[in-house]
């Protein structure tokens, strides 16, 4: 990996002439990311995994989204993207990833909602990525790796299909642009601004799926979920709460599919520290127990 990173740096003029060092960045389980230090600035190098090949999402369209989000003021500037299927380099944002404890800060929660609304208002993008696309893309990829589907997968997929049919009638909040990976770890807080990173799953989707991602990974109580929806919509309605619960189910199933896919994609990796297959089984168990939270 050291040679791969240095080879990339040598071919990027902005980095090569003043390159000092690089270090691993903690965060995602999918791509490999590094902080590149030069005499003047710091950058982020992301070396891509192969997941988008199975999701029918081009890296070229992701770069266009990243550039649009930067122009709108809430994503790092793209520095180099000549080989987007392999890697992308962005400016490094001085700040920190948001954590669960930050959700107690009403100002930060308002900033999150403001960013999500800006994303959902993005237009001119034909990149499509619904939660159902993600589920079926991951499962198709897992099947190509001959990953055995655990018991219960077909049962949970039946309900997902029913939810997809019900949501297809929503013309107001479905078919809107979404980040689709808007977990706290993809939000960088600078102290006064919030920057959104990792746009590889972005596309036209369902904002209710987007709205579930932080609550279901941070074990929101029912009261907190209601406040979350009120913060986004400006009011609370039982109908939106019911939709939210259905989409939490879809979010958990997406985690199952993701886990199965990555168990196959990384099966030759002798150094992997995360058991994706056990994670998928854990999610199935929680779903069958009626628990739609990680």
The predicted-structure confidence for 172-219, as pLDDT tens digits, reads as follows 999 999 999 999 999 999 998 999 999 999 999 999 999 999 999 999
Where is 67: in which H helix or E strand?
Answer: helix 59-71
CA gap 167, 157 in Å, rounded: 15
Phi and psi of 118, rounded to 5°?
-60, -40
The string over 77-97, giving b where at least 16 C-beta atoms fall within 10 Å of a residue's C-beta and e elsewhere, is: ebbbbeebeebbbbbbbeeee
CA gap 261, 284 in Å, rounded: 14
Question: Fold match between 2-94 and 97-288?
Answer: no
Give 3-state DSSP helix, strand, coil % of the chain, rounded to 5. 50, 15, 35
**What pLDDT shows up at residue 46?**
92
Domain range list for the chain: 2-94, 97-288
Contacts of 272 (CB under 8 A, 6+ apart): 266
The predicted-structure confidence for 46-89, as pLDDT tens digits, reads as follows 998 888 888 888 899 999 999 999 999 999 999 998 888 899 99
Phi-psi region of 109 (alpha: psi -120 to 50; beta: other; left: phi over 0): alpha
Residue 7 is encoded by which pair of tokens?
């080879």
What is the value of pTM for the model shown? 0.93
Closest CA to 215 of 206, 204, 227: 227
Closest CA to 217 of 292, 136, 121: 292
Regarding the domain delimited by 2-94, which CATH topology (the fold level of the hierarchy) does it fall under?
Answer: Phosphorylase Kinase; domain 1 (3.30.200)
Question: What does the CA dihedral 55, 61, 63, 64 come to, rounded to 10 degrees?
Answer: -150
Whether 27 shows a pLDDT value over 70: the answer reads no
Homologous superfamily assigned to 97-288: Aminoglycoside phosphotransferase (APH), C-terminal lobe (3.90.1200.10)
């Amino acid at each position: 990996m050291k040679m791969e990173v240095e080879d990339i740096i040598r071919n990027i003029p902005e980095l090569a002439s003043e390159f000092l060092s690089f270090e691993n960045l903690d965060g995602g389980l999918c791509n490999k990311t590094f902080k590149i230090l030069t005499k003047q600035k710091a950058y982020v190098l992301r070396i891509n995994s192969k997941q988008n090949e199975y999701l029918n999402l081009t890296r070229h369209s992701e770069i266009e989204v990243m550039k649009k989000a930067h122009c709108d003021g809430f994503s790092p500037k793209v520095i180099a993207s000549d080989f987007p299927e392999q890697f992308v380099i962005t400016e490094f944002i001085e700040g920190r990833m948001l954590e669960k404890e930050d959700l107690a800060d009403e100002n930060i929660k308002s900033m999150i909602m403001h960013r999500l609304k800006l994303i959902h208002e993005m237009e001119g993008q034909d990149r499509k990525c619904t939660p159902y696309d993600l589920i079926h893309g991951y499962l198709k990829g897992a099947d190509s790796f001959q990953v055995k589907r655990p018991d219960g997968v077909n049962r949970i997929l039946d309900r997902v299909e029913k939810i997809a049919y019900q949501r297809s009638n929503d013309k107001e909040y479905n078919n809107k642009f979404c980040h689709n990976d808007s977990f706290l770890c993809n939000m960088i807080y600078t102290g006064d601004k919030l920057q959104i990173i990792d746009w590889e799953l972005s596309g036209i989707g369902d904002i209710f799926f987007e709205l579930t991602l932080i609550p279901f990974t941070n074990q929101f109580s029912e009261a907190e979920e209601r406040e979350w929806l009120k913060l986004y919509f400006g009011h609370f309605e039982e109908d939106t709460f019911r939709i939210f619960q259905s989409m939490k189910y879809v979010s958990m199933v997406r985690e199952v599919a993701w886990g199965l896919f990555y168990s196959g994609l990384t099966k030759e990796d002798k150094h992997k520290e995360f058991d994706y297959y056990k994670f998928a089984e854990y999610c199935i168990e929680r779903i069958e127990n009626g628990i739609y939270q990680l």
